[in-house]
Amino acid sequence: MRKHNFGAGPGVLPEEAIRKTQEALYDFNGIGMGAMEISHRSKEFAAVMDRTRSLTRELLKVPDTHEILLLQGGASGQFAMIPMNFLNGKAAYVEAGAWSVKAIKEAKTAGEVVVVASSADKNFNYQPKGYDIPADCDYLHITSNETIHGTQLKAWPDSPIPLVCDMSSDIFSRPVDTGAFDLIYAGAQKNLGPSGVTVVIIKKEFAQGIKKKLPKYFNYNTHIEGESLYNTPPTLPILVCMFTLEWLKGIGGVEAIEKINSEKASLFYGQVDANPFFTGTANKEDRSPMNAPFLLADPKRDAEFLQTARGKGIEGIKGHRSVGGFRASMYNALPVESVKALVTFMEEFSKVHA
C-alpha cells in the first residue's frame, strides 16, 4: 500500500515512471545490461538524453533560440553559477522567500546585488508585484514558486533586462512562455524526477554574452557545446525524468496537468477556506497549487493532527519550521485521490475537535 505522499521534495513520482525504472535497472530495453551500467555515450543512453530533451522542448514549447541542458548540482548549484557567469556589474533579485534569500546570498559572493522587491515584511506570505526593474542591472532573478511559503507568481514581470527564473518547485505544472526567459532552471526533485539532475533552459544569445574568465566546468557554454555530455551526466536520474515526462505527455501535457493541479488546489483550499479550524498562511491571490502551508486554529492539536493523519496513510505534511503548522505539497504526480483523502481527514478531524 503506497501512502498519500505530500512531501515537499524529493516528492512523489508517477507509479508508471517507477515501474519503468525498476524494469530498466536489470536489463534495459533487452540489451542485457542495466540502465545504470551503460556508457553515457552509448546509443541507448543517447536516445534517453535526446528523448528527455525533446519531451522538455515539446511539453514546455521551448523555442529553438533556447538550449536545454541537463546538469548536476541542483538549484543551489545554479544560485552560484548564474552570478559567476552573468553578474558583471550588478544584478537585480526579487526576495520572495527562503529560496530567493539563498539565491541572493550566493549572488553576493560574486558581486553587487540590488534587491528590487521583498516580501520579508510579512514572512514572505505574498509575491511582490509592481516593482521597478533597474535597466542597468545584468539580469533580474525571480522565483516562480516559493516551496516553503506557498506562494506562486501568477504573472511574469515585464523585464527590460534578461529574465532568470528558478522554477524548481513548479516547472512542468503549467504552461509557461519559455521564450520570454533568458534562463530557467529547476532541480528535478519536485515535478520531474529524482534529485541529482538540474534542467536549465538557456537562451543561446544570453550564453554567448558571457564575458568572464571562468572554470570551464562552470561556464554554461561548455555544456551547450558539449550537449550536456561534456562529462558523464547523472544517467539514472535522467532516465527517470524521461519516464516522468512520457507519463506527463501521456496524460495530456502541461495543459492537462494544470487542470488537474487546479482541481487538487480547489479541493484543498476549498476546505481551508470553508473550515474555521484551518487557516492558509499565504495571501489568497498568490497561493501556490504546488505547496499549501496551513495552520490549525488550535495549535495545541498539531501533534495529534499529524499523528492521526499518519494513521490514515497521509505523509509529509509537517510544516517547515520557518512557517510552522503544516504544508501539503501537491506535485504533478500526487493523485487527486490523495487530496480527497487529506480533505476528508481534515473535515473529520475538525468535527471531532470542534
Give the integer Cα–Cα distance in Å for 83 and 242. 29
What's at 313, amino acid-wise? G
Ranges of H-type helices in 87-141: 98-108
CA atoms within 13 A on the CB side of 326: 29
Cβ closer to its own copies: 61 or 310?
Answer: 310
**CA distances (Å), origin 335, targets 99, 190, 202, 265, 342:** 26, 14, 32, 12, 11
Residue 220 has phi, psi (to 5 degrees) of -55, -35
Q: Which contiguous run of DSSP H or E holds residue 46?
A: helix 43-59
- 162 is a contact residue toward its own copies (CB under 8 A): no
The site that binds its own copies (CB under 8 A) totals a number of residues, namely 68
Exactly one of 62, 68, 75, 176 binds its own copies (CB under 8 A); that residue is 75
Residue 29 CB, nearest distance to its own copies (Å)? 13
Cβ closer to its own copies: 45 or 268?
Answer: 45
Q: Quick check: 151 and 265 in contact, CB under 8 A?
A: no
Exactly one of 44, 46, 54, 80 binds its own copies (CB under 8 A); that residue is 80
- 77 is a contact residue toward its own copies (CB under 8 A): yes
Cβ closer to its own copies: 244 or 261?
Answer: 244
> What angle (nearest 5°) sits at the alpha carbon of residue 204, between those of residues 65 and 146?
90
Which of these is catalytic: 20, 170, 182, 190?
Answer: 190
Stretch touching its own copies by CB under 8 A, among 8-16, 113-121, 281-289, 294-302? 8-16
Closest CA to 342 of 288, 256, 275: 275
Cβ closer to its own copies: 23 or 129?
Answer: 23
- 88 is a contact residue toward its own copies (CB under 8 A): no
- 210 is a contact residue toward its own copies (CB under 8 A): no
E strands within 99-205? 112-118, 140-143, 145-146, 151-152, 163-166, 183-187, 198-203
Cβ closer to its own copies: 40 or 204?
Answer: 40
Site string (93-112) toward its own copies, x via CB under 8 A = ------------xx--xx--
Stretch touching its own copies by CB under 8 A, among 48-56, 120-128, 235-243, 346-354? 235-243
- 315 is a contact residue toward its own copies (CB under 8 A): yes
Q: Using the structure block, give the residue that is written with the C-alpha cell 536489470.
A: 26
φ/ψ region of 61 (left if φ > 0, alpha if ψ in -120 to 50, else beta) reads: left
- 46 is a contact residue toward its own copies (CB under 8 A): no
Q: To 10 degrees, what angle do helices 74-86 and 98-108 make?
A: 40
In sequence order, what are the beta bridge partners of 66? 203
- 10 prior amide bond cis, ω within 30: yes
Exactly one of 22, 158, 284, 307 binds its own copies (CB under 8 A); that residue is 22
Stretch touching its own copies by CB under 8 A, among 17-25, 51-59, 247-255, 261-269? 17-25
Cβ closer to its own copies: 157 or 187?
Answer: 187
Exactly one of 7, 97, 162, 319 binds its own copies (CB under 8 A); that residue is 7
- 195 is a contact residue toward its own copies (CB under 8 A): yes
166 is catalytic: yes
Core vs surface per residue 306-319: b (16+ CB within 10 A) or e: eebbeeeebbbbbb
Cβ closer to its own copies: 166 or 286?
Answer: 166
Strand-strand pairing, 163-166 and 140-143: parallel
- 306 is a contact residue toward its own copies (CB under 8 A): no
By CB under 8 A, name the binding residues for its own copies: 1-3, 5, 7-13, 15, 18-19, 21-22, 25-27, 31-34, 36-40, 42, 72-77, 79-80, 83-84, 105-106, 109-110, 187, 189, 193-197, 213-218, 230-237, 240, 313, 315-316
Positions marked catalytic: 99, 166, 190
